[in-house]
Amino acid sequence: MVIVTKREATQEQVEAVVKRIEGVGLKAQVSTGEQHTVIGVIGDKTLLGDIPIDSMSGVERTMPITAPFKLASRQFREEPTVIAVNGTKIGGKQLAVMAGPCAVESAEQIVTIAQHVKKAGAQFIRGGAFKPRTGPYSFQGYGIDGLKMLMAAKEETGLGIVTEVMTPHEVELVGEYTDIFQLGTRNMTNFYLLREVGQAGKPVILKRGMASTIEEWLLAAEYILAEGNPDVILCERGIRTFETHTRNTLDLNAVPVIHELSHLPIVVDPSHGTGIRSLVSDMTKASVAAGADGLLLEVHHDPDHSMTGDGAQSLFPTQFETLMRELKPIAIAVGREI
Amino acid sequence: MVIVTKREATQEQVEAVVKRIEGVGLKAQVSTGEQHTVIGVIGDKTLLGDIPIDSMSGVERTMPITAPFKLASRQFREEPTVIAVNGTKIGGKQLAVMAGPCAVESAEQIVTIAQHVKKAGAQFIRGGAFKPRTGPYSFQGYGIDGLKMLMAAKEETGLGIVTEVMTPHEVELVGEYTDIFQLGTRNMTNFYLLREVGQAGKPVILKRGMASTIEEWLLAAEYILAEGNPDVILCERGIRTFETHTRNTLDLNAVPVIHELSHLPIVVDPSHGTGIRSLVSDMTKASVAAGADGLLLEVHHDPDHSMTGDGAQSLFPTQFETLMRELKPIAIAVGREI
Amino acid sequence: MVIVTKREATQEQVEAVVKRIEGVGLKAQVSTGEQHTVIGVIGDKTLLGDIPIDSMSGVERTMPITAPFKLASRQFREEPTVIAVNGTKIGGKQLAVMAGPCAVESAEQIVTIAQHVKKAGAQFIRGGAFKPRTGPYSFQGYGIDGLKMLMAAKEETGLGIVTEVMTPHEVELVGEYTDIFQLGTRNMTNFYLLREVGQAGKPVILKRGMASTIEEWLLAAEYILAEGNPDVILCERGIRTFETHTRNTLDLNAVPVIHELSHLPIVVDPSHGTGIRSLVSDMTKASVAAGADGLLLEVHHDPDHSMTGDGAQSLFPTQFETLMRELKPIAIAVGREI
Amino acid sequence: MVIVTKREATQEQVEAVVKRIEGVGLKAQVSTGEQHTVIGVIGDKTLLGDIPIDSMSGVERTMPITAPFKLASRQFREEPTVIAVNGTKIGGKQLAVMAGPCAVESAEQIVTIAQHVKKAGAQFIRGGAFKPRTGPYSFQGYGIDGLKMLMAAKEETGLGIVTEVMTPHEVELVGEYTDIFQLGTRNMTNFYLLREVGQAGKPVILKRGMASTIEEWLLAAEYILAEGNPDVILCERGIRTFETHTRNTLDLNAVPVIHELSHLPIVVDPSHGTGIRSLVSDMTKASVAAGADGLLLEVHHDPDHSMTGDGAQSLFPTQFETLMRELKPIAIAVGREI
């Protein structure tokens, strides 16, 4: 960490800062510039704990040199994390494909779609039983009944289950059914939920908050890792920007950035990342080419009768099948398989 | 609602949409333009329920004409909501001033600050006992002990308490101590929490999500109102933009916009809205001039020894006192009192 | 266009709007909803000219149904525009690759790099002679001398030239040397410059403004097209968002969106789109997979001695060579050649 | 400046950086941390000129300690710049009020509005003769005829003129009529234009780019100052964010920030900053309370017949008059006069 003091900072203020730093066993290196005094902190900055350097008199700002996350970082673990679940390895050579409807709407619907996506090569069926909705009057999911329908689809097809959990006290319930917990963009900073899934003993897909920086996202992962759960899968699903033509701006830069900063696998959700069916296939190809470890895709055989507006971004089963075929050479070109 | 169909939409597709609309008792008015067919929906659109017009074949997009929130809207209730709590009326002529530290750090700290802000004219002491923190290694608040310290400050000064609740299962606990629940920016879309405080029988300050539109914010309020709790106080606290000089971009446009769209009171938090102590006073004055119903301000007598970095945005007690004095003529100029 | 009137709009105000619309020969269709009256405008809305419907009394807002650009739209021209320049066709099956340094720094530098990129398969050498710089004290380019150095590189290698023009009165000068004008992100709304290159008789690369929506970008293209120059190549180069880890957020969604809305070719600049050398190759692959018609890439053999800080995002010649080889199977997978 | 090297940087790379720094007469202070080596640069960093530290091998990033602008900074000039023009002092105790229509539409229109705003207390009439428009088919202003109409309004009322200049070669022409050049948000990075008005000998209002940081804005001002023109007036007019309810997000934080960083006066444009007539008065009050040195406001007596859609954000003359009266006590409360 580098501490920049104010131009008008007094000698006493600089010394007070140095004293605080040295008081916890760190080394402080003071450089007196023409306008500002800069204090470099050398050593393990976690020793600083909650000392509010930013708030101290005479301090203008602090600038971090190293990342604030640890367990999630490449420095902590050099080789990529590979997560084995329901017979699939996520984060390895094989791309993980999770596909299905936005919401579980009936046993028939979810089984039908599961059969379609299984045939086309997906390893996981996704679908929401508990749905976070912007307004209170929208369909909020079938809850436990939805979970049972997902289980029926699993029994029918062998596909693993990916489904969302929205609140700490439902982690146990959802965990009885799902293979992978999904934490949605609106819950990336639901810290109690992060901690709870950190103790749940199953892999977690952590979607990026729609206004979260990559650093904040990795800090949210750190909450889960710090509870002892090493199986975190990040999911880029688009961020909020000024552009309104698409529902979100899919930030594919995040894929190689995460691979540089972290050992955790990252999957991409081009369905939410665009919000428009006709864009999904191209952006899925781009996701694979950028190095994604997997895909989260919405597929619906009858969007005209879906129960959420998200049908507008769902692929039809035939589109999904075609896409899976077209992805193959791209996957191979970047050293992957699908 | 207006439905725009695709240029290539067939007559059958248009008719299918019309049939759906009429099937629930609404009227559909079809206009055939040179490029697109546009279908106007006339009547109470809640009758559409979960029919996914957006997803139907041949539909390009839907455009709402009326707002998606109801209980929160001016149309639902013309006169402003005034919330009486601990002897203060929020939303009326008197500005509500809530001041205190970011976190409760000790009984001595919170009582000292409470005395300062009381003397200067605040009606509420604010301070976090449960703290949402970006990373797992930061100080997370003293929990129930913090609540007790707040109660001691209330007993000493008579000030009402404003403190944050982070998760549904702590609503009851926090409710035993606080006068007003605070829901933070990271929890604006924690829908279970919204519902829980909707049933808790105490006023709620709902901070705007840092990437939430005003419409989404009012929909979050709608969750609370729909549970039967009419006492929602909105709080603008800055949004996330590309500007990095300030911690957030305080969106004061939101103040008159909320007053147009809703009957709910709105307070402003210039401390988080700027993140920089030296900007807080000017932006507090601007908040009052824009028509805010109250203020949420960080005040700390000893930020050098605070336990969170937010001390950098806290006013010193003497600054707060001066500010309160300087706000008077501005409050009067806009028809308020302080 | 659909016009939504205010809830309190009077019958007279609605009629005044209708009269204006009908007065220019358009048809107005009035729908009276429960809260708002909605007026649909049927016919060629350009007939409205500068009638300020938005400003009229009783009008709440107008909502466009069709896009505001014409010559740039798919409706105007169904088949993709293919631009032949210096023996290369841009917008067809072959990917156009434009590579070179940020700035032309010496004849030796630009010839050396041109030879490298030519060998690896690029068809164009890029490099700035006139450089838009954020501050006045940075190197602003060698101007006409830089243009001459580019010409030397062209003579040596046969590569076409792509270079930036910054102001209307230099269009003629730059046009004597360059094969393709580049308009930078900071000049996308320099409307005089758009008009001037619209009359210059050479193809134009129009970079997206860093805070411009796709619609505004196509309207900027429309300025050029409206002057009679059909050869506009759009270039996605990253937009400005809250994320600071990368220099910009490369918005690859724009690639399939542009292909849907417009017949114009679109190339991608992953160098500026990321700002970080180690991310460029992955994002270039993603660009091709998303359907880009070409690439604009920074390549520098000696960034340690470059004259702008942009060397940090330049590929080394060997990296560029490897990348070009690795792009082949991806290009083929999406029906292209490189 | 602080230079952070990569974790894998070699001793040779660090030494090469140090050598470069010392080679221009600066001092380099090397701190070897546990993960990164950090090099502090002490001395006047302009000596670094165009040495691309960012691009050097082994360098991860550079972090500035001091601002990149000089002439615009508080350090360069402690006391506020006060600009005298047409008998008004901008930047002093008196608030400068510039009001008028978006575009000059006729001599009668501009004279009428000038009389209205003069009577209400404005010192300047504003109105566009050259209009930057998003699309080529919109009304682009009356050009020189518009300038003549402005002059007629000045002769009639004595008000100073504020009008926009869009391109370098029209600076001389516009300068024959206007008292203050206005540079619009779309031209903040039109560097040739900045330089040209830097030599034109008249004050310049420099509007903030809609996606420009405060630092970039001050760097744009630096271009003008560096040409010898000290009379730059900054204008906050709203930035582009994800919020769509308002046309822009008025960033009032910028007012106290500019006053901290710079000696230049700053005015606010709440008309563009909101885009909605009913919000303008409240946000004007907020602007004054935040410390603005002046106001740029749209006023139109007949928006139903205006020639641009901006009439929707124009105040009626009576609203403007009321606003001016209501601003008085707020101005006085913050030590100003109006």
Question: What does the pLDDT look like over A292-308, one tens digit per residue?
Answer: 999 999 999 998 888 77
Q: Average of pLDDT values for B192-196?
A: 97
Q: Which residues in chain D touch residue B260, judged by CB atoms under 8 angstroms apart?
A: 278-279
- The mean-pLDDT minimum among A8-12, A32-36, C312-316, D237-241 falls in A32-36
- In degrees, rounded to 5, the angle at the alpha carbon of residue B170 between the alpha carbons of residues B168 and B174 is 125
CA distance D330 to chain B (A): 5
Is it the case that residue B55 has pLDDT exceeding 80? yes
Per-residue DSSP letter, A94: B
β-partners of residue C4 are C38, C61
Q: Could you write out the DSSP letters of every residue in D67-102?
A: -S-STTBTTT--SPP-EEETTEEETSSBPEEEEE-S
Residues of C with CB under 8 A from a CB of A: 211, 213-215, 239, 241-246, 249-253, 255-257, 260, 273-274, 278-279, 282-283, 285-291, 326, 329-330, 332-334
Mutation target vs C (from A243, A258, A313; most C CBs, 10 A cutoff): A243
Is it the case that residue A168 has pLDDT exceeding 90? yes
Q: Which residues in chain C touch residue A326, judged by CB atoms under 8 angstroms apart?
A: 333-334
Residues of B with CB under 8 A from a CB of C: 2, 4, 7, 29, 31-36, 38, 40, 42-44, 63, 65-66, 75, 211, 240-242, 244
Burial D270-298 (b: 16+ CB within 10 A, else e): bbbbbbbbebbbbbbbbbbbbbbbbbbbb
Q: Which of B278, B290, B333 sits opposite D283 (nearest CB)?
A: B290
β-partners of residue B61 are B4
- ipTM associated with this complex: 0.95
Q: Which residues in chain C touch residue B244, judged by CB atoms under 8 angstroms apart?
A: 244
**Cβ–Cβ < 8 Å for A182, A205:** yes
Neighbours of C22 (CB within 10 A): 12
Q: Which amino acid is it at A310?
A: D
Closest listed residue to residue B315, CA positions, set B267, B272, B273, B277: B277
Three-class SS of A75-92:
CCCCCCCCEEECCEEECC
Q: Which residues in chain B touch residue D73, judged by CB atoms under 8 angstroms apart?
A: none
Q: Tokens in use for B144?
A: 């129930």
CA B250, CA B254: separation in Å to the nearest integer? 9
Per-residue DSSP letter, C162: E
Neighbours of A326 (CB within 10 A): 17
What are the helix (H) ranges across A214-253?
Answer: 214-226
Q: Which residues in chain C touch residue B43, judged by CB atoms under 8 angstroms apart?
A: 33-34
Model confidence at B35, pLDDT cuts 50, 70, 90, reads confident
**Cβ–Cβ < 8 Å for C224, C194:** yes
- Residue A275: left (phi > 0), alpha (psi -120 to 50), or beta? left
How many angstroms separate the Cα of C325 from the Cα of each of A329, C332, D100? 15, 12, 60
Is it the case that residue C50 has pLDDT exceeding 80? no
Closest listed residue to residue D74, CA positions, set B312, A6, A62: A6
Q: Tokens in use for C156?
A: 């040596």
Q: Which residues in chain A touch residue B190, judged by CB atoms under 8 angstroms apart?
A: 167, 186-187, 190
Q: Average of pLDDT values for D99-104?
A: 96
Counting residues of chain A whose pLDDT is more than 90, the rounded percentage is 79
Q: Which amino acid is it at A235?
A: C
Q: Which of B56, B168, B222 sits opposite A304 (nearest CB)?
A: B56
Model confidence at B293, pLDDT cuts 50, 70, 90, reads very high
Closest listed residue to residue D213, CA positions, set D68, D113, D336, D89: D68
Task: Report how far Cα A182 is from the mean position of its chain's Cα atoms.
Answer: 9
| Predicted local confidence at residue D283, as pLDDT | 98
Is it the case that residue D80 has pLDDT exceeding 80? yes
| Predicted local confidence at residue A13, as pLDDT | 93
**Cβ–Cβ < 8 Å for A299, B52:** no
Handedness of CA B283, B288, B292, B295 (dihedral sign): positive
Q: Which of A53, A195, A309 sits opposite B52 (nearest CB)?
A: A309
Residues of A with CB under 8 A from a CB of C: 211, 213-215, 239, 241-246, 249-253, 255-257, 260, 273-274, 278-279, 282-283, 285-291, 326, 329-330, 332-334
**Cβ–Cβ < 8 Å for B184, B166:** yes
Q: Average of pLDDT values for D311-330?
A: 96
CA A294, CA A68: separation in Å to the nearest integer? 26
- In degrees, rounded to 5, the angle at the alpha carbon of residue A197 between the alpha carbons of residues A195 and A198 is 60
Residue D202 main-chain phi, psi, to 5 deg: -135, 155
- In degrees, rounded to 5, the angle at the alpha carbon of residue A276 between the alpha carbons of residues D245 and C234 is 85
CA distance C93 to chain D (A): 31
Q: Average of pLDDT values for D296-312?
A: 86
Neighbours of C199 (CB within 10 A): 12
Residues of D with CB under 8 A from a CB of A: 2, 4, 7, 29, 31-36, 38, 40, 42-44, 63, 65-66, 75, 211, 240-242, 244
Burial C89-101 (b: 16+ CB within 10 A, else e): ebbbebbbbbbbb
**Cβ–Cβ < 8 Å for A295, A125:** no
Q: Tokens in use for A221?
A: 């992962």
**Cβ–Cβ < 8 Å for A183, A212:** no
Is it the case that residue D303 has pLDDT exceeding 90? no
List chains adjacent to chain D, taking adjacency as at least 3 C-beta pairs closer than 8 Å.
Answer: A, B, C
Q: Tokens in use for B136?
A: 């797992």
Handedness of CA D254, D257, D262, D266 (dihedral sign): positive
Is it the case that residue D309 has pLDDT exceeding 80? no
| Average pLDDT for chain B | 94
Q: Which residue of D has its CA nearest to A40?
A: D31
Is it the case that residue A138 has pLDDT exceeding 90? no
Report the greatest alpha carbon distance in chain D. Answer: 74
Neighbours of D87 (CB within 10 A): 9
Mutation target vs B (from C1, C2, C5; most B CBs, 10 A cutoff): C2
**Cβ–Cβ < 8 Å for A25, A47:** yes
Interchain CB distance below 8 Å, A213 and C242? yes
Q: Average of pLDDT values for D9-24?
A: 92
Q: Average of pLDDT values for A308-320?
A: 89
Residue C150 main-chain phi, psi, to 5 deg: -60, -40
Q: At what angle do helices D317-333 and D107-120 cross, to 10 degrees?
A: 30
Bridge-based pairing state of the strands A27-32 and A37-42: antiparallel
Q: Which of C54, C138, C169 sits opposite D311 (nearest CB)?
A: C54
Q: Which residues in chain A touch residue C290, judged by CB atoms under 8 angstroms apart?
A: 282-283, 285-286, 289
Which of A301-315, B49-63, B274-288, D47-61 has the highest mean predicted lDDT (pLDDT)? B274-288
| Predicted local confidence at residue A307, as pLDDT | 79
Interchain CB distance below 8 Å, A312 and B191? no
Counting residues of chain B whose pLDDT is more than 70, the rounded percentage is 100
Model confidence at D172, pLDDT cuts 50, 70, 90, reads very high
Counting residues of chain C whose pLDDT is more than 90, the rounded percentage is 79
Q: Which residue of A has its CA nearest to B245?
A: A61
Interchain CB distance below 8 Å, D329 and B326? no
**Cβ–Cβ < 8 Å for D182, C124:** no
Interchain CB distance below 8 Å, B255 and D282? yes
How many angstroms separate the Cα of D97 from the Cα of each of B244, D81, D126, D276, D286? 30, 17, 10, 19, 15
The residue behind tokens 């002491």 is B125
Per-residue DSSP letter, A99: E
| Predicted local confidence at residue B135, as pLDDT | 87
| Predicted local confidence at residue C7, as pLDDT | 87
Interchain CB distance below 8 Å, C65 and B38? yes
Is it the case that residue D238 has pLDDT exceeding 80? yes
Q: At what angle do helices A317-333 and A277-290 cross, to 10 degrees?
A: 20
Q: Which of D190, D303, D309 sits opposite C187 (nearest CB)?
A: D190
Is it the case that residue C94 has pLDDT exceeding 90? yes
Q: Tokens in use for C57?
A: 């009394």
Interchain CB distance below 8 Å, A190 and B191? no
Interchain CB distance below 8 Å, A239 and C241? yes
Size of interface A-B (CB pairs under 8 A): 144
| Predicted local confidence at residue D199, as pLDDT | 97
Task: Report how far Cα C279 is from the mean position of its chain's Cα atoms.
Answer: 21
Q: Could you write out the DSSP letters of every residue in C230-255?
A: --EEEEE--B--S--SSSSB--TTHH
Q: Which of D34, D35, D66 sits opposite A35 (nearest CB)?
A: D66
CA D250, CA B238: separation in Å to the nearest integer? 12
**Cβ–Cβ < 8 Å for B206, B234:** yes
Interchain CB distance below 8 Å, A33 and D40? yes
Burial class (CB in 10 A: 0-12, 13-18, 19+), B125: buried
**Cβ–Cβ < 8 Å for A153, A159:** yes
| Predicted local confidence at residue A65, as pLDDT | 84
CA distance A216 to chain B (A): 7
Q: Could you write out the DSSP letters of every residue in C290-319?
A: HT-SEEEEEB-S-GGG-SSGGGGGPBPHHH
| Predicted local confidence at residue B66, as pLDDT | 83
Interchain CB distance below 8 Å, D65 and A38? yes
| Predicted local confidence at residue D63, as pLDDT | 86
Is it the case that residue B219 has pLDDT exceeding 90? yes
Q: Which amino acid is it at D330?
A: I
| Predicted local confidence at residue D173, as pLDDT | 97
CA C310, CA C297: separation in Å to the nearest integer? 12
Interchain CB distance below 8 Å, D314 and C54? no
Neighbours of A228 (CB within 10 A): 10
Per-residue DSSP letter, C26: -
Closest listed residue to residue D67, CA positions, set D213, D227, D256: D213
Neighbours of A156 (CB within 10 A): 16
CA D62, CA D36: separation in Å to the nearest integer? 13
Interchain CB distance below 8 Å, C282 and A255? yes
**Cβ–Cβ < 8 Å for B240, B210:** yes
Size of interface B-D (CB pairs under 8 A): 127
Residue D63 main-chain phi, psi, to 5 deg: -125, 120
Residue C161 main-chain phi, psi, to 5 deg: -110, 135
Model confidence at D108, pLDDT cuts 50, 70, 90, reads very high
Interchain CB distance below 8 Å, D191 and C216? no
Is it the case that residue A113 has pLDDT exceeding 90? yes
Is it the case that residue D28 has pLDDT exceeding 80? yes
List chains adjacent to chain C, taking adjacency as at least 3 C-beta pairs closer than 8 Å.
Answer: A, B, D
Domains in chain A, ordered, with CATH? 2-63 (3.30.70.1140), 83-333 (3.20.20.70)
CA C42, CA B59: separation in Å to the nearest integer? 19
Q: Which amino acid is it at A152?
A: A
| Average pLDDT for chain A | 94
Mutation target vs D (from A70, A242, A251; most D CBs, 10 A cutoff): A242
| Radius of gyration of the CA atoms of chain D, in A | 23
CA C103, CA C115: separation in Å to the nearest integer? 16
Is it the case that residue A50 has pLDDT exceeding 80? no
| Predicted local confidence at residue D36, as pLDDT | 87
Interchain CB distance below 8 Å, D291 and B282? yes
**Cβ–Cβ < 8 Å for C26, C41:** yes
Is it the case that residue C271 has pLDDT exceeding 90? yes
Q: Which of C213, C250, C329 sits opposite A253 (nearest CB)?
A: C250
Q: Average of pLDDT values for B239-264?
A: 97
